[in-house]
Structure 1
């Protein structure tokens, strides 16, 4: 799951300024570089701004530090990112509150720390091999988010409640992913069911419950979860689950159905479900990747390779996913004697079009 943007925080003073560049020095340029995956350029830009003393306000320093930490993390320079984030005091320090600087930020209060920085702070120990410390930080972040939700609810700040609930969901998904990696299924189920029992009906979360039930062999339970998602689609009101478009919601339902067929080794039916997804949205990389895998299981290597190659050709910025590339290279190895040459050609193309954080070693050249 991608890290949130360094400026994605309701505490950021976006409403007070006319443009991104008013929010922080040349912030529009930083956001543009991040959207293109130009992480090395961000590190260079931050270094230059600091050396020339271009950052004058407290939140300038914090936002540039956040982008620098994010860029270093994307470039897998986790020790450098950790050292950078450790230059800050306690996130709750008065140094990082707007009200400490009333002349600079009149009529503003609260923390300047972007949510993304709190998230990366939790994530870094896991990247550095300190699993328990990372999990501890994630659970502390979850506690922090839930306190914010209570605070916003008590003040009837409904828009902010929605933002913080999405963050709660985001962090929970990260925790679930880490526990899944260590096959701690009961913990994953507890985390999801806790949210669902509190009437937090997120169709993506209920789908993830079904995926976990599949992994532990509870096929009927998984089907029940997937049916619940389909019911949510059919019964939703106009503004319900607004974070999912109609197409995204319908594709989620089709992918859930396809997974049931996959487990039953009915690859033809699974392909049909994935094709429905692709017809609605040709950028659905999960459906494209899984359709190709199903074709491979059906011993149609030629078509499975075509599916992935066409995806990379049509939508390179979206389809350039390490899992998809690994699968394509595996298919090359199965299909062609001269697969090394074909993979080298793919690798050279990736080097020219991929963002800085793409791991080109996944081509196994």
Structure 2
């Protein structure tokens, strides 16, 4: 899944997470395990087919079944860039905070359950779809409204001294929403807004290594190299703790990639390559390190090796390495290196057509 999309599991989880009370996805909704598996594989057209079949055969019996399947359907449409269809599907919904979307409104179906049955991903889709349709300000307004909704939930949990999984989920959602909003502002180079959003989270104790790294990246964008170094040093200091969502290897690689960015600004590509190679040695599927190592080699005028780095990654870990940025860079290198680059790119495009998930944008090969 890309950064703009919720994790497949969030498609099944209502505003008050309840997966811990069930043995499997199928206990949550009709044949949800296979639907979830299709989403994880990126088989979004099959997701649409499965949802259409369940609806046509009236297999969805309870209110929350319809909402869960609708969530999968909308996310699949967004992944396939069918934004108008996704918007039309969302228009079929009433007020997501209405009583008809609460468990207690159906006591026979949900005895002793209260709260909203709306999957959080559905709220996220309602917020992000205007941006996909070119209505940026409308989308930003919805994203900020959803951020307020999430923060109110976080405050409620804190006031009740709730230390459950649900409380942690809501804090993670606040981080997700803030990052989504930062991404929109970053695309418009609105750096001061991004800095304020990040610093607000940091002031409230969100010492997240990815958030600090993003702060450093933005500081580099505005020319504050010393500030970026300070932020990256704080990330390195967090390695002594052991309570982050990242694994030890992921955190170590994040530190190396941050160091490499500082070297890149100074045009010390040899040192940057060394940092990226450490990442790849720890985790051969670190696609950011792989891609950036190839770029550094290209800057060092070692075009042959830069191409090999990307081609080897596609061969070794296609499910991870196959993303549009890496393929765009590889095709650019082909254009620089070979006279017959059109034939080479066509071979790559044919391979992509066989192995890529449904949402892969094949136009990135520029054939």
TM-score range, shorter chain: over 0.9
Counterpart mapping for 1:169-184 below 5 A: 169-184=175-190
Q: Is 1:79 matched up with 2:81?
A: no
Q: Distance in 2 between matches of 1:116 and 1:290?
A: 31
Aligned to 1:247: 249
Q: Distance in 2 between matches of 1:19 and 1:174?
A: 30
Q: Distance in 1 between matches of 2:304 and 2:353?
A: 25
Deviation at 1:22, TM superposition (A): 2.2
Corresponding residue to 1:139 among 136, 140, 144: 144
Q: Distance in 1 between matches of 2:204 and 2:26?
A: 41
Aligned to 1:61: 66
Counterpart mapping for 1:25-44 below 5 A: 25-44=30-49
Q: Distance in 2 between matches of 1:161 and 1:16?
A: 16
Q: Distance in 2 between matches of 1:150 and 1:103?
A: 31
Retained in 2: the 8 A contact 1:10–1:160? no
RMSD, matched Cα: 1.1
3-state SS, counterpart of residue 350 of structure 1: helix
Aligned to 1:122: 127
Deviations 1:66-123 (A, max 9, x none): 0000111111000100110111111101111011111111121111111111111111
In structure 1, list runs of 5 or more residues that go unmatched.
Answer: none
Deviation at 1:2, TM superposition (A): 4.2
Counterpart mapping for 1:272-283 below 5 A: 272-283=274-285
Tell me which stretches of 4 or more aligned residues in structure 1 moved more than 6 Å. Answer: none
TM-score (norm 2): 0.96
3-state SS, counterpart of residue 84 of structure 2: helix
Aligned to 2:116: 111
Deviations 1:239-296 (A, max 9, x none): x22x011001100100000000000000000000000000000010000000000000
Q: Distance in 2 between matches of 1:87 and 1:288?
A: 43
Aligned to 1:7: 12
Aligned to 2:327: 325
Aligned to 2:197: 191
3-state SS, counterpart of residue 349 of structure 1: helix
TM-score (norm 1): 0.97
3-state SS, counterpart of residue 345 of structure 2: helix
Aligned length: 361
Deviations 1:317-349 (A, max 9, x none): 010010000000000000000000000000000
> Which region of structure 1 is more displaced relative to structure 2, 45-54 or 260-269?
45-54
